[in-house]
């Protein structure tokens, strides 16, 4: 696999993904396969929005220098080499294309798109071809779609509240969509590396929770404080929180 990453943003020792616009100032990394521990994100400095990567505790490494990112009317998904070369736009549809996530084997990218007027879950190949809509019901989908570790299922949020909503799971081809929560107000759906649970943010309490898939029991990870949308350490060993 080539050493690339996708911009809404994701970086790794492999391909990374990201969606950019002038309004975006942070992004969540998404990684195909193993990684070298780098994080990637978009940041606006002095009116310029570009993608940077960093190893924790090290200096920022700037990957892009494109004026088009500063005033882009849409949010689109891009791919870029982790060292900053070969920037490739993968989507150009009207509306926002964002929240891309690599499949575990690196052969597909799932993302959210509002090109039909309602935010839905879509899938495409790593080169941007074969963009396929997976969800069709009239409820908008919210951040962040995520793959099961075996690549067979995708979790996502249906936005039934002003911010969040219920967590749904479907097959990777869009089949068998079903909720695992009811009447909830969750934000984010991060599948655990062992496939047994999904981490999410309970929006009313601003508390990170883990929902066990065999019982749908939800339990708080840590009480207290204002918490943020969680993400598991890459293919990893624990849980991180990322800016929403």
Q: What is the pLDDT of residues 184-213, one digit of tens each?
A: 999 999 999 889 999 999 999 989 999 999
- The CATH number corresponding to 134-244 among 3.20.20.80, 2.40.30.10, 2.120.10.30, 3.30.70.420 equals 2.120.10.30
For the chain, give the percent of residues with pLDDT over 70.
69
Q: Please, what's the b/e burial string for 111-141 (b: 16 or more CB within 10 A of its CB; e: otherwise)? A: bbbbbeebbbbbbbebebeebeebbeeebbb
32, 12 in Cβ contact below 8 A? yes
Residue 162 backbone phi and psi in degrees, to 5: -55, -30
Question: Smallest Cα–Cα separation from 151: which of 33, 16, 7?
Answer: 33
3-class SS of residue 42: strand
182, 166 in Cβ contact below 8 A? yes
Provide the pLDDT for residue 38: 59
Q: How many CA atoms lie within 13 A of 215 on its CB side?
A: 5
Q: What are the tens digits of pLDDT across the range 89-116?
A: 899 998 899 999 989 999 999 999 999 9
Q: Given phi > 0 = left and psi -120 to 50 = alpha, else beta, which region is 21?
A: beta
Question: Smallest Cα–Cα separation from 200: which of 237, 163, 150, 153?
Answer: 163
Provide the pLDDT for residue 91: 93
pLDDT at 54 over 70: no
Of residues 234 and 164, more confidently modeled? 164
pLDDT at 239 over 60: no
pLDDT at 26 over 50: no
Torsion of CA 112, 117, 118, 124, to 10 degrees: -30
Of residues 117 and 22, more confidently modeled? 117
CA terminus-to-terminus distance, the chain: 30
Domain with CATH 2.120.10.30 in the chain: 134-244
Question: Smallest Cα–Cα separation from 29: which of 15, 43, 41?
Answer: 41
Separation in Å, CA 178 to CA 77, 116, 145, 224: 27, 22, 14, 31
Residue 189: both structure tokens together: 């759906």
């Amino acid at each position: 696999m080539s050493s690339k990453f996708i911009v809404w943003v994701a970086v790794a020792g492999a391909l990374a993904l990201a969606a950019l616009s002038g309004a975006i100032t942070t992004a969540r990394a998404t990684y195909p396969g193993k990684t070298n521990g780098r994080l990637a994100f978009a940041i606006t400095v002095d009116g310029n929005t570009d993608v940077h990567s960093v190893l924790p505790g090290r200096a920022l490494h700037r990957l892009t220098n494109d004026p088009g990112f500063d005033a882009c009317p849409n949010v689109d998904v891009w791919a870029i080499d982790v060292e900053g070369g070969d920037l490739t736009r993968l989507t150009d549809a009207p509306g926002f294309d964002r929240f891309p996530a690599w499949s575990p084997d690196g052969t597909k990218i799932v993302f959210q798109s509002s090109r039909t007027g309602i935010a839905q879950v879509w899938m495409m190949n790593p080169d941007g071809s074969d963009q396929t809509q997976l969800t069709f019901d009239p409820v908008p989908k919210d951040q962040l779609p995520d793959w099961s570790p075996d690549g067979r299922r995708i979790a996502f949020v249906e936005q039934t509240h002003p911010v969040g909503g219920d967590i749904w799971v479907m097959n990777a081809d869009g089949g068998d969509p079903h909720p695992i929560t009811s009447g909830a107000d969750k934000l984010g759906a991060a599948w655990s590396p062992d496939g047994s649970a999904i981490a999410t943010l309970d929006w009313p309490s601003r508390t990170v929770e883990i929902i066990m898939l065999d019982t749908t029991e939800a339990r708080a990870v840590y009480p207290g404080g204002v918490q943020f949308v969680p993400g598991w350490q890459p293919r990893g060993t624990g849980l991180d929180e990322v800016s929403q």
